[in-house]
A and B are shown apart, each in its own frame.
Chain A
Amino acid sequence: MTASGRVGRRPAVIGLLVLVGWAAPTGLRSLLMVMMIYAVFAMAYGLLLGHANQPSLGQSLFFGVGAYGFILPVLRLEAGFWSALGVALAAGAAAALAVGALAVRVSEAYHVIFTALLASVAHLIAKNTTPLTGGTGGLPIQVPAVPLGPWTLSVYDPFTNYLLCLAAAAGVYLGLERVLAAPLGRVWVAIRDNEHRVAFLGYRVYGYKLAAFVVAGTLTALSGALYAVRLRYASAEFFGFEWAILPFVWGVLGGLRTLPGPVVGVVLFTVFQYYVSAWWTHYLILFGILIIVILRWLPAGIVGVLAAARQPRRA
């Protein structure tokens, strides 16, 4: 596959998604919208774990911070759309900086447990500070109009909301693609493959790992904010532990070491969730079994397996 061929397909895919969003019935459009919001979250996690080797299980914290970072300025300060989104991203970055400053220092086992505990306690606090968060009942909002150059758009028009999510997902995809090809991304991958050697070459490993943690936290906050915009509300359940596990499941299902992998994982898993949860109340049983099966038999993810099958095996 040539480089020009790869670039050439991107506008076509985005154009196709615009067309589908315009023509699709409401249910399908809404499903695609959720997938694109999740895709931002999933790509952020793929960057964090698949490229920079940071096994965080506390990303739910940044998802919740992003959602509340968006709705609280709107509710309390009557902030406009873009400034609220700016607050959400800044809050996500700040939270990730604070958590990452400790988390990236400790070994894998401590990193996983520390982030998971932090996210669980954040959920506990969010549930119990009802005046601020609305607790599990949540806080509804009126999403302000979106000024964009000469136009003023409204997310209450479903197609506009769809385009907003598509712009975010496509922007994050193309942006990360650039970063991963740039020296910064190369250093991340090198750290994943052999941290000591990278340090030996004179790179400040701690700073690079922290940078990955902050970028991932900020993008996760973007995903949380978009999710709150789509539902026009946020609740303490945005901090729930399933939001810490889902990105891992998406990433592992699709393949963590490529950029499209987590997105493929999102598409497959969201369809599964959509149909199975409607069909069986105790679908968490299937979810649990599926997690174990994926971990056991699909360690490189579906995209990884497909890529390996396409490439002739090296002697």
Chain B
Amino acid sequence: MSELASTLLFLVADGLIWGSLIALIALGLSLIYGIMGIINMAHGDFFMIGAVLAVALSGWLGAFWPALLIAPLLVGALAVPLERWVLRPFEGRPLLTLVGTIGLSFVIQQVALIVFGGTPRRLEAPLAFVVSFAGVALPGYRVVAAALGLLFVAALWALVYRTELGVRIRATMEHPEIADAVGIDTSRVRVLTFGLGAALAAAAGVLAAPITQVFYLMGNDVLLFSYIVVIVGGLGSLEGALAAALVLSGVEALLTVVVSPVEARALMLLAMALVLLVRPRGLFA
């Protein structure tokens, strides 16, 4: 196979790997918007806390994998009171939730800066093998991370579409008043969904820690891309978020062959604007 073809294949594969992590973040964003009407600007920081905890726990425990369980639980537990006691009065009002969560984001980032320091850190990949196919060699950890990311997505899918809690979540998303009237504790659904979304972002952060720079502002960049994804997919649409995460990550990776990463990001934004012009509510909503 020619060198160009394998370069392109590598880029698409790497793009899809990031796409599966972005999907975890975007699904949480879309779910949280769909249920609570919160535009969560602190979501990137839940991702960041996940990555920071992965670095810290790997140091203390000498092993990477426990963080994948511990960090989402901790971040979920942190997010639950934030929804109930801080964000609840703003819910359903996009601008207020956006600005309020920016305030939250400042606090989380500065606390992370104080505790963790400002220097970016790298975590060594916990797996060292290499996966090769069609002349392309991918670091094994990245492939495993993507698979785990998709596994979390599948688990979320099963939860939302195959469990009783999922029925309550979907009912609250579609008709909050009626859900309330038929006896669903919508307040509990809100709290649980926010915690769940935050935990998914933290899981993505843990998985991303060995393949990126870990520092207190790392969530900003990821959040920016995730919001492009969520808008293209349609706010509140889970299918849209998943499809857009994978497609846009792949396309952006391919674009970096011909343009700089910043130009690629600007082109993604342009694509988003075009989608909004044609379909003001995104592709799937």
Contacts and interface: CB of A to CB of B under 8 A. Distances in A.
Interface of A: 49, 55, 57, 102, 105-110, 112-114, 116-118, 120-121, 124-125, 128, 245, 248-249, 252, 282, 284-285, 287-292, 295-296
Contacts of A292: 86, 100, 103-104
B99 A289 contact: no
A293 to B, nearest CB: 9
B231 A112 contact: no
Contacts, number: 109
B100 A120 contact: no
Interface string B224-235: 100110110001
A255 B266 CA distance: 35
20 contacts: A49-B95, A55-B94, A57-B95, A102-B276, A107-B281, A110-B235, A112-B94, A113-B39, A113-B235, A117-B224, A118-B273, A121-B266, A124-B262, A125-B266, A245-B102, A252-B99, A282-B113, A284-B109, A288-B103, A295-B103
A71 to B, nearest CB: 22
Nearest to A288: B106
A116 B33 CA distance: 16
A162 B102 CA distance: 33
Contacts of A117: 224, 227-228, 231, 269, 272
B151 interface: no
Contacts of B106: 284-285, 287-288, 291
B97 to A, nearest CB: 9
Contacts of A109: 33, 37, 39, 94, 235
Contacts of A125: 262, 266
Contacts of A287: 103, 106
Given A55-B94, A108-B94, 6 more contacts: A109-B235, A110-B281, A113-B231, A284-B110, A287-B103, A288-B105
Contacts of B262: 124-125, 128
A249 B90 CA distance: 16
A245 B33 contact: no
B114 interface: yes
Given A109-B33, A288-B106, A282 B98 contact: no
Contacts of A108: 94-95
Q: What is the interface residue range for chain B against chain A?
A: 35 or more
> 10 closest pairs, A vs B, by CB?
A291-B103, A288-B106, A55-B95, A288-B103, A109-B94, A288-B107, A284-B106, A128-B262, A292-B103, A282-B110
B265 interface: yes
B81 interface: no
Nearest to A99: B273
B119 interface: no
Given A121-B269, A245-B99, A282-B113, A110 B231 contact: yes
Contacts of A290: 103
B265 A291 contact: no
B147 interface: no
A262 to B, nearest CB: 15
Contact of B111 (A49, A57, A105, A285): A285
B160 interface: no
A295 B96 contact: yes
Nearest to B107: A288
Contacts of B266: 121, 124-125
Contacts of B114: 282
Contact of B98 (A57, A249, A285): A57
Contacts of A249: 99
Contacts of A245: 99, 102
A296 B90 CA distance: 8
A252 B103 CA distance: 14
Interface in B226-285: 227-228, 230-231, 235, 260, 262, 265-266, 269, 272-273, 276-277, 280-281
A223 B145 CA distance: 47
B89 interface: yes
Given A112-B39, A125-B266, A248 B99 contact: yes
Contact of B280 (A55, A106, A282, A285): A106
A57 B106 CA distance: 16
A106 B269 CA distance: 16
A196 B102 CA distance: 31
Contacts of A120: 220, 224
Interface string B89-133: 110001110111011111101110110000000000000000000
B261 to A, nearest CB: 9
Nearest to A109: B94
Contacts of B280: 105-107, 110
Nearest to A299: B96
A108 B107 CA distance: 26
Contacts of A110: 231, 235, 276, 280-281
A116 B226 CA distance: 13
A102 B272 CA distance: 11
Contact of B95 (A102, A112, A289, A291): A112
A118 B268 CA distance: 11
B227 A113 contact: yes
Between B86, B102, B107, the greatest number of chain A beta carbons within 10 A of the residue's beta carbon is seen for: B102
